[in-house]
Structure 1
Amino acid sequence: MAIRKEIQEVAAKQFVAFREEILKSLKEIKETEDCSNKQLKELKEKQENTVRQVKEINKMAQDLKIELEKLKKTQMEEIVERKNLGKKTGTTEVSITNRLQEMEERISGVEGAMEEIDVSVKENVKSKKFLTKTIQEIQDNLKRQNLRIIGIEEKEDSLLQGPENIFNKTIEENFPKLKESPIRIQETYRTPNKLDQKRKSSQHIIIKTISIQNKEKILKAEREKGQVTYNGKPIRITPDFSTETMKARRAWTDNMQALREHRCQPRLLYPAKLSVLRDGENKIFNDKNKFQQYLHTNPALQKTLEGKIQPKKTSYFQENTGNN
């Protein structure tokens, strides 16, 4: 009895210590998230201001361009009038000369202002790209421990009293071995499909695990199983990323299919890098521009992917002022 009581006391102490460790970890994670969310909010405000400034500057540039065209047209009319008058009288009218000089000064001033605007636009565009990239990195970092479950109808929430029980049932149905060492989660909730808001589909379930290791454990089990189901119906479990990163990952889809056919063993690395194995050499590409540069050195591979890497054309204004 004494030994049994001692074992129970040790177990109780271990449980308390483990519980305190978990609570401490959760507190640290929460503090980090609060700090990141505050930073994210500030960056988004800066990004919105930058976009607004670029739009205003572009409008000023358009107005100045119209004014410049009017001035040049008036200048040409004055020059023609001056020439015609000179032919008739054999002299040059001083008032016309003065008007032309004034016109040239105004044109020079407008052209100078347009040069300054061009520099300002370039600086703002550079700032916007930096802010967009920073926001994307922070969002992805906040979502690093998250999973996204796609394809489960929202009516299941009321049947099982919330997304957390849906997650537990999914684990039990597909990965029974993982129940031996329970996956600890911080939070579960539904979120809209931001990539295709017009599409009528169930909201995705976001699972915020307590660690990246827990998330990777589930993703590994999902890859090994092949097809994950809920009540026998196919669903998907994926990592959770920012909207921009999800778009970047989706942009590789057609290329990856063609690369598989070419036996290049493509893989998507975190967050949206393409890995290609060719002739025993592993190549990693951060974006499509780098990938296209690589294709120029591989005509055979370029021919295979022909028509599948057409870049989307955007106007200068759309590129520099589009929402993110």
Structure 2
Amino acid sequence: MLSHFDAKLDTIHNSVHQMQDSLNFMKTTVGELEGRIGSNQDELSRLETRIKQLEKQNSYLAEKVEDVENWSRASNIRLLRVPEGSEGRDMIGFVGQLLIQLFGQDKLPSPPVIERAHRSPGTPNPNPKAGPRPILVRFLHFQDKLNILRLSRDKKELLFKGNRVHIYPAFSAGFMEKRRLFTTVKKKLRDLNIEYAMQYPATLRVQVAGKRLFFRSPDEAEIFILQHTRKMQLLDNENKIPIDKKRLHTLQNIKMHIKDSIS
């Protein structure tokens, strides 16, 4: 009887030992897994930091490349809506005479020196609604480009063969997109009769109350417009107050005069 009980007890002890060994093994395994997870988390943190550094570096290099590209186009302009085929076989000669025709010989006595001139790459679009391809022009002298842009702003409307021609600086697509973000802001400034201009690369300069303000993002400019509008409304309300006081003073004088007359 006792031997049978001892045998069962030994079996239980063996089972307990096996369970204890299993628990110890699992404990060791969990510890190793925790260590690996900790190492992986550290490595992940290092990788995230490295990715942020690379993204920042990539953004910086992309801006530098775009800046170099735009500086290489510093003397370039784009002519829009000039009918296809008008240039014949001599694009440079055509553009020189076109500029004189657009501005007049009194403003542009002789054509500026042009290094290169050509249509945008590609074939003409047969769809008339698509419009003619832009003409890209590179001047030998940067000042000639500035002069042409100034004349274009002054004359406002440029006509050639019944088409309204537009002249713009020739910058990269990324650069132009940054400037296009200010379109809504510029319209609001025009509505408020506030003088503004775009400066290189994509900075909005505002002239107000004898001061020059610079905004590098549309959001900054929107905040300024909101504050300026509120300020003008307050000034407008303040200007109305003295008129009411003056009327009140006049009424009081009339009342006193009537009272004196009655007495």
Q: TM-score by structure 1 length?
A: 0.57
Distance in 2 separating the partners of 1:221 and 1:239: 13
Verify: 1:161 aligned to 2:97, yes or no: no
Q: State the secondary structure of the residue aligned to 2:207.
A: strand
Distance in 2 separating the partners of 1:253 and 1:208: 26
Q: What is the correspondence of 1:70-85 to structure 2 with a 5 Å cutoff? A: none
Which residue number corresponds to residue 103 of structure 2?
A: 175
Q: 1:220 aligns with which of 129, 150, 168?
A: 150
Which residue number corresponds to residue 124 of structure 1?
A: 54
Q: What is the correspondence of 1:118-267 to structure 2 with a 5 Å cutoff? A: 118-157=48-87, 160-177=88-105, 178-191=107-120, 200-267=130-197
Shift of 1:91: 10
Shift of 1:123: 0.9
Shift of 1:111: 0.6
Which residue number corresponds to residue 28 of structure 2?
A: 98
Paired AA for residue 171 in structure 1: L
Cα 1:133–1:293 shift into 2, 3 Å: farther
What's the CA shift string for 1:211-252, capped at 9, x where partnerless?
111111211221221111221211101111122211111111
Shift of 1:201: 4.0
Contact 1:249/1:272 (<8 A) preserved: yes
Aligned length: 207
Contact 1:274/1:286 (<8 A) preserved: yes
Cα 1:289–1:117 shift into 2, 3 Å: farther
Q: State the secondary structure of the residue aligned to 2:112.
A: coil
Q: Which moved more, 1:284-293 or 1:111-120?
A: 284-293
**Moved runs in structure 1, 4+ residues, more than 4 A?**
89-92, 292-299
Shift of 1:121: 0.8
Distance in 2 separating the partners of 1:113 and 1:233: 63
Contact 2:103/2:151 (<8 A) preserved: yes
Paired AA for residue 170 in structure 1: L
Q: List alignment gaps of at least 5 residues for structure 1.
A: 1-88, 194-198, 304-324
Q: State the secondary structure of the residue aligned to 2:115.
A: strand
Contact 2:100/2:108 (<8 A) preserved: yes
Shift of 1:290: 4.3
Contact 1:174/1:229 (<8 A) preserved: yes
Which residue number corresponds to residue 67 of structure 1?
A: none
Shift of 1:139: 1.2
Q: State the secondary structure of the residue aligned to 1:152.
A: coil
Contact 2:92/2:117 (<8 A) preserved: yes
Give aligned-pair identity as a percent: 20
Paired AA for residue 141 in structure 2: S
Q: List alignment gaps of at least 5 residues for structure 2.
A: 1-18, 123-128, 234-263
Cα 1:244–1:298 shift into 2, 3 Å: same
Verify: 1:274 aligned to 2:204, yes or no: yes
Cα 1:224–1:278 shift into 2, 3 Å: closer
Distance in 1 separating the partners of 2:226 and 2:102: 44
Shift of 1:285: 1.6
Shift of 1:172: 3.1
What's the CA shift string for 1:271-292, capped at 9, x where partnerless?
3210112333220122335446
Contact 1:192/1:204 (<8 A) preserved: no
CA RMSD in angstroms comes to 2.8
